[in-house]
Amino acid sequence: MGEQPIFSTRAHVFQIDPTTKKNWVPTSKHAVTVSYFYDSTRNVYRIISLDGSKAIINSTITPNMTFTKTSQKFGQWADSRANTVYGLGFSSENNLLKFAEKFAEFKEAARLAKEKSQEKMELTSTPSQVAAVKKNVLPVLPKVPPKVPVRKKESATGDLQSPLTPESINGTDDERGTTPETPQYLPEPRAEPSQNQLPFSHSSSSINKHWEAELAALKGNNAKLTAALLESTANVKQWKQQLAAYQEEAERLHTRVTELECVSGQMTVIKSQKTELNQTIEELESALKSKEEELERLKEEVESANEFQTQKESLTQKLQETEERNQTLEAQLVELEQRLEGSQLEREAFRKSLRTLLELLDGKIFELTELRDSLARLIEGSSS
């Protein structure tokens, strides 16, 4: 066969719900191999993914397609031929960037291949068609499906519970500017004779510019939604449920690996499946370990918060006691000031009394001195 794989990666595969056109529906229970294939006979590129013997992705890359990174580990693109939207969840941002680079590269290659085929068709066109173009004969344009009117709805106000909801990945209907039922990519136009190429390519380029502007607005909205999504994943209860699911999945995969090892024949297929399962187990174990570490960290933070709360209550009680003692001391201080003021008044009155007594004593002493002198004179007089 002329189709060969040229790039492969691993991711969880999702498709938009065909009934609601809102929710993501997982098409693989675990991460599967997603590959780019090149068909040299038809000069086309395809994205193919198999889950066992079932093809869950079979999308031909066209120049009108665009791969949109809606978060750090999730991307999507619309396939108008399959009338669906594919979503891929990667284990790391690096894998997402590599896949997006390859998508852009092969999209450009598909565009160049389409232009070459159009040039060949123009060279092989009949002289009558060339004459019709020179005479400005209006070409018959292919019928383009009418544009579906936009139906705006109020954005969901519920809490984000899962990274797989379209609101967290694609934005709400208001943010997208179109309903999920409206395809975001027009079907690839069928090749027509050279007289029809110029008007249709002009219309296609204007449509591409319109959708590129829409995608730029979506990227800004998706960045905000990604921040809200990262905050919502801090639910410890949900992590415990996820850890239990990861453990059950790991046990099931270990059992599956043991069964595959016991099966004889088709060793290449078994080895490939075993490798995929081992990689999935490693991814799950790594995720489990990271969740356990995060859970331990949260427990430590909760314990620290409890200790801080206890210290806060103790300090609050001490502060209240200190305030009460301060009030008591202030009352005692006021009382002491009043007593001190009373003592000062008493001392001042006592000093005044002492001064009065000193003055009286001085007077009495002076009188006694005069009386002594008089007595001395009388004694002297009587002796003479």
Given a cut of 90, is residue 255 above it in pLDDT? no
**Distances in Å between the alpha carbon of 376 and those of 363, 369, 382?**
20, 10, 10
Query: What pLDDT does residue 250 have?
Result: 76
Task: Give per-residue pLDDT as tens, 161-192.
Answer: 334 443 433 443 333 333 333 333 333 434 33
Mean pLDDT of the 346-354 span: 91
Locate tokens 């997603």: which residue? 34
Residues in CB range of 65: below 8 A, 6 or more apart:
77, 78, 79, 103, 107, 185
- 347: in domain: no
Instruction: Work out the pLDDT band at 267, boundaries 50, 70, 90.
Output: low
Which range of 108-117, 129-138, 236-245 scores highest in mean pLDDT? It is 108-117
Q: Is residue 106 part of a domain?
A: yes
- CATH number at 52 reads 2.30.29.30
- Provide the CA 71 distance to its chain's centre, in angstroms: 8
Give how many domains the chain has, as a whole number. 1
Residue 379 above 80 pLDDT?
A: yes
Burial of 181 (0-12, 13-18, 19+ CB in 10 A): exposed
Residues in the chain: 384
Per the domain annotation, does 325 fall within a domain? Answer: no
Host domain of residue 63: 5-118
319 occurs within a structural domain: no
**Residue 114 maps to a domain:** yes
pLDDT digits (tens, 9 = 90+) for 48-80: 998 888 889 999 999 999 999 999 999 999 998
Residue 43, in any domain of the structure = yes
Within-domain flag for 165 = no
Tell me, yes or no, whether 89 lies in a domain.
yes
